[in-house]
Amino acid sequence: MTELQIVRCPNCGSHAHRSHLDMESQIQTQCPACDYLMVTCAHTGRVIEAYAPGLYPFT
């Protein structure tokens, strides 16, 4: 079963969709406004896949 929540995007603050995917034990957060994507493991919290346009590592 997949649970869907509406949350605030950590990248731009717009409304984003968070899906809890039970079969894969993953949590997916995506924002249609800025193309943000984060897929994490539901058990460990480790990042599986991430894409956040406009965010850059500190140099």
Neighbouring-strand partners of residue 3: 20
Q: Please choose, from the candidates 39, 45, 43, 48, the residue with its C-alpha nearest in 3D space to the C-alpha of residue 19.
A: 39
pLDDT (tens place) for every residue of the chain, 59 residues total: 678 999 999 988 999 999 998 888 999 999 999 999 999 999 999 999 999 887 666 55
3-class DSSP state of 40: strand
3-class DSSP state of 23: coil
- Phi-psi domain of 35 (left: phi exceeds 0; alpha: psi -120 through 50; beta: other): left
pTM: 0.81
Q: What pLDDT, on a 0 to 100 scale, did the predictor assign at position 20?
A: 94
Q: Would you list the domain boundaries of the chain? A: 2-51
